[in-house]
Amino acid sequence: MAWNWELRDWPDFIRDRQKLATREARFLEQAGVLIGTSRHISDEDRIELSISVMSLEAIDTSQIEGETLDRASVQSSIQRALGLKAARTSARPAESGIADMLVDLLQTSGDPLSDAMLHRWHRKMLSGRTDLKSLGGYREHEEPMQIISGASYAPKVHYEAPPSRDVPSHMAAFIAWFNQTAPTGEAPLLPIERAGLAHLWFECIHPYEDGNGRIGRAISEKALAQGRQRPVFTSLAGALLRHRKDYYCELEFASATLNADRWLNWFADIALEAQGRSLRQVEFMLSKTRLFDRLAGQLNPRQEKALLRMFAEGIDGFKGGLSAKNYMTITGAPTATATRDLADMVAKGALVREGELKSTRYFLKLD
């Protein structure tokens, strides 16, 4: 079987831009809505939103690779990387590393892509790894770089990347293309086409010993963010995680052809799904502002603390809702006080109550 990088016209991917036209227009329209809506968020809430989105991105992009991270540790690592006061929580290298990489991505989203930038991301993301020969550098091993599954005695090869000796030249061509197709480049491309091709091309080169998927997704985020007035994450990893099986299947299919239409059509739907979630996150923060403005002076410190804790969980909120026991843990309130506080917040329209007795749970009531 021939891989796409072995084909004569590599890396000239074939695609029909008309097939993406409607979704490119929708993406740009929603990007404008996202930027416009985010202008109504306070600076404090904007920082909180960035931390929340980056935390989810770190957790989701790692979960795609089968690695589970602790959310609190990731959040505190991101806060420290941003120079903000953070809770004293211990973080493993995997958590602090991916946090540092995503903060770097956010802060340099408008900068040209380079070998140095990618190597920096690789070092940050895989800090603490002692099993890699080339940490912060392209792979150099002579054995084939393969993606395989199945038993060791009967492995299935899903993909084999170019030999290590050819990686520098492949990456030079890729980086030149990426910068030329930026909104300010010589041959700008629309965001979905550029982000989708960038991810596919990078994954086909597979330039690192490990971490190619996470860096490839970061490159796509960079492509989607460039050209905006404000750098905003599209939450791409979360959408890819929700469709992980299809994600791997589509990449495998695309790795054997230079016709990128099927891949780009699939990726376009993922990008729009991710963008929609980003917009919901911004609207969630606006709902928070409106709720606290409406209830200004009507909540006691315990109630405010509990509501802030619920908002900190993001748009998915507490899994299964807030219980009286959760409230007592968060605020230190005794049972009777917790019952009164929660009933008062329901009466004031801050919470919605569902269930009875021990099954009672509370959810944010948002407009």
Catalytic residues: 206
Q: How far apart are CA 266 and CA 274, in angstroms?
A: 13
Spatial contact of 127 and 252, defined as CB atoms under 8 Å apart: no
**Does the annotation place 248 within a ligand binding site?**
yes
Does 159 appear as a known binding residue? Answer: no
Alpha-carbon gap, residue 183 to 321, rounded angstroms: 43
Q: Are 356 and 276 in contact (CB under 8 A)?
A: no
Annotation-wise, does 179 bind a ligand?
no
138 in a labelled binding site: no
Residue 131 burial (CB count, 10 A): 8
| Dihedral, 255, 232, 240, 135 alpha carbons, nearest 10 | 60
Quick one: how far is CA 317 from the chain centroid? 18
Say whether 216 counts as a known binding-site residue.
yes
**Residue 59, marked binder:** no
The Cα–Cα gap between 35 and 37 comes to 6
E strand intervals along the chain: 146-149, 156-160, 351-354, 361-364
First to last CA, the chain: 55
Would you say 153 is a known binding-site residue?
Answer: no
Check whether 9 is labelled as a binding-site residue.
Answer: no
228 is in an annotated binding site: no
23 is in an annotated binding site: no
Q: Which residues are annotated as a binding site for ATP?
A: 210-217, 247-248
Q: Which residues are annotated as a binding site?
A: 210-217, 247-248
